[in-house]
């Protein structure tokens, strides 16, 4: 019998390449069961973290969260709530909607006075002392008018003057929280006052901190007061610096950030608001974001994009292992963002940068066919980082054989798929998106995939993992342990619920 390898988050094996015996009714029932289980057992104040022991005595995220702490950053509350809403849309079961609404309220009640979110949110007794949240634990608006707006720009935000109110766009935090609120708000037909207000406030904040050229910085600590300085932040195309430091300048010099899909997820958020709520302001902001990507494409000989740019539109450093360079990964994310923008609004001018960038990346592939995360400016040599003396710090290197393990230095080349989507849009056809990172089930899974997911689910409605690293987590003291019964991973829940929802939607269409 022919077999193929199946990869589901946390579930790895080979299954027969045969049709599933699962019916739409069985998948619907499974979705309701897994959502109800997660909602009733894992939720704290409606929110979630990354990992749980089977008995829910242990909780873990990036560190050990307190008993009243939730994680906003995906795959925490925002991703779990989003998946629950996917389940509701295909099942129309109110228990799935209720679970998603509770997650949205958890997000609303951890929204900062700046309008954005930190990586985590706290519901503990001491949270009122910091005064950073825009709502009380019960959802009432709290001290939003007391928020002091100030001059906008990275020269102010990077000083982090209002540390307790610092919102981040890193790792899709503020963006994913906004998308969840916008989606739940639309599902409730804008009838929930708290969720509707929080979604609107978040969109105002996202537009408020967008630079005139259409870009964003990694974080902000207040709504803006007045306009951005034209002298400090001129609108100009990207160019190469005369020189750049080979050692980290010990400063986050990146004013305009594309790193880790920050810009792409912000665009996606605005386009979602434009689609679901007919938000013309959001669509205009998405267009400005697209205009920035046109400006940010580097000239020859490297017509792609950097991870981050300074205010003069030169590629620059961010963290100690993120140098002034051209980025293979971020360049591909930029092109997918442009494709989504054209699909949403139809203006094909945003396709213009793609052929040159794809051809450049095609010629820049490594011997294994992948693209480097970083290419040196002008020389186009792949850049890596190795650990410094005594395993401390990072040192720039042209040799990837001993690169440090903390980072993804090489990425799959997606140029062929990007060009196929580009050509489809030129013909007026719908582009096909791959099962890309963080959107693994943008295409429906196979019947065999669905069958494997259902078989892996236990009777209560949980995917418990015990193999290798997936079966380990840290206890309250930080010690690595293997909990009896296994570990429940939020990312497994999210990806499998999305997969089952995508499958069921296809079967019903």
What's the CATH code of the domain at 341?
Answer: 1.50.10
Task: Write out the residue range of the structural domain in which residue 134 sits.
Answer: 20-243+258-298+329-363+444-508
Q: Which of 1-15, 236-250, 346-360 has the lowest mean pLDDT?
A: 1-15
pLDDT for 18 beyond 50:
no
Query: Which pTM was predicted?
Result: 0.93
DSSP state of 394: E
Up-side HSE of residue 204: CA atoms within 13 Å toward CB?
14
Model confidence at 343, pLDDT cuts 50, 70, 90, reads very high
**Any domain includes 131:** yes
Residue 94: the pLDDT is: 98
Q: Across the chain, what does the average pLDDT equal?
A: 91
Position 460 in a domain: yes
pLDDT tens profile 371-383: 999 999 999 999 9
Q: What is the DSSP string of 132-190?
A: -BSB-TTS-B-SGGG---B--SHHHHTT-TTGGG-EE-GGGHHHHHHHHHHHHHHHTTT
Could you tell me if residue 48 is inside a domain?
A: yes
> What are the pLDDT digits (tens) for 458-472?
999 999 999 988 999
- Report pLDDT digits (tens) over 73-121: 999 999 999 999 999 999 999 999 999 999 999 999 999 998 999 999 9
**Residue 381: inside a domain, yes or no?**
no
Q: Are 465 and 471 in contact (CB under 8 A)?
A: yes
Domain tally, the chain = 1
Is 85 contained in some domain? yes
User: Quick one: pLDDT band at residue 127, thresholds 50, 70, 90?
Assistant: confident
Question: pLDDT tens digits for 144-183?
Answer: 765 667 788 999 888 766 567 889 999 999 999 999 999 9
Tell me how far apart the alpha carbons of residues 359 and 327 are, in angstroms, rounded to a whole number.
14
**Which residues pair with residue 3 across a beta bridge?**
16
**Does residue 428 form part of some domain?**
no
Q: How would you class 4 by CB atoms within 10 Å of its CB: exposed for 0-12, middle for 13-18, buried for 19 or more?
A: exposed
Residue 276 lies inside a defined structural domain of this protein:
yes
Does residue 375 fall inside a structural domain? no
d(CA 297, CA 246): 22
Read off the tokens for 111.
């929204």
* pLDDT value for 432: 86
pLDDT in tens, 180-220: 999 999 999 999 999 999 999 999 999 999 999 999 999 99
- Residue percentage of the chain with pLDDT more than 90: 81
């Amino acid at each position: 019998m022919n077999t193929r390898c199946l990869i589901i988050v946390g579930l790895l094996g080979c299954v027969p390449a045969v049709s599933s015996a699962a019916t739409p009714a069985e998948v619907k029932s499974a979705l309701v069961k897994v959502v109800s289980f997660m909602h009733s057992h894992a939720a704290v104040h409606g929110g979630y973290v990354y990992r749980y022991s089977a008995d829910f005595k242990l909780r873990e995220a990036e560190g050990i969260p307190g008993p009243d702490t939730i994680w906003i950053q995906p795959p925490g509350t925002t991703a779990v709530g989003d998946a629950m809403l996917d389940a509701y849309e295909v099942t129309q079961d109110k228990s799935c909607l209720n679970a998603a609404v509770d997650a949205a309220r958890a997000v609303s009640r951890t929204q900062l006075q700046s309008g954005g979110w930190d990586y985590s949110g706290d519901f503990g007794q001491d949270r009122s002392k910091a005064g950073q949240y825009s709502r009380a634990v019960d959802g009432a608006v709290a001290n939003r008018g007391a928020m002091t707006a100030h001059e906008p720009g990275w020269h102010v935000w990077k000083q982090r003057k209002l540390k307790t109110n610092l919102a981040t766009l890193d790792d899709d935090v503020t963006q994913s929280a906004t998308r969840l609120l916008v989606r739940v708000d639309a599902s409730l037909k804008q009838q929930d006052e708290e969720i509707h207000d929080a979604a609107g406030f978040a969109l105002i904040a996202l537009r408020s901190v967008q630079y005139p050229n259409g870009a964003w910085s990694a974080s902000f600590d207040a709504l803006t007061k007045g306009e951005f300085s034209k002298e400090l932040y001129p609108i100009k195309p990207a160019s190469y610096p005369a020189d750049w430091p080979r050692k980290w300048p010990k400063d986050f010099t990146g004013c305009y950030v594309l790193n880790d899909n920050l810009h792409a997820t912000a665009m996606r958020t605005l386009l979602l608001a434009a689609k679901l709520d007919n938000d013309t302001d959001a669509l205009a902001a998405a267009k400005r974001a697209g205009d920035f990507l046109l400006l940010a494409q580097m000239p020859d000989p490297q017509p792609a994009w950097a991870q981050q740019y300074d205010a003069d539109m030169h590629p620059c450093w961010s963290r100690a292992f993120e140098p002034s360079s051209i980025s293979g990964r971020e360049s591909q994310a930029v092109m997918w963002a442009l494709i989504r923008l054209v699909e949403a609004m139809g203006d094909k001018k945003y396709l213009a940068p793609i052929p040159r960038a794809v051809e450049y990346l095609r010629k820049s592939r490594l011997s294994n066919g992948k693209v480097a995360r970083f290419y040196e400016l002008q020389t186009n040599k792949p850049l890596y980082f190795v650990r410094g003396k005594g395993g401390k710090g990072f040192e720039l290197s042209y040799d990837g054989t001993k690169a440090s393990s903390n980072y993804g230095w090489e990425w799959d080349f997606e140029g062929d798929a990007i060009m196929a989507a580009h050509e489809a849009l030129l013909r007026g056809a719908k582009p096909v998106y791959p099962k890309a990172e963080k959107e693994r089930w943008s295409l429906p899974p196979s019947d065999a995939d669905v069958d494997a997911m259902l078989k892996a689910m236990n009777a209560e409605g949980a995917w418990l993992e015990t193999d290798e690293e997936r079966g380990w987590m840290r206890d309250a003291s930080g010690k690595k342990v293997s909990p009896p019964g296994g570990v429940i991973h939020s990312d497994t829940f999210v990806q499998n619920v999305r997969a089952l929802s995508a499958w069921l939607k296809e079967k019903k269409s």
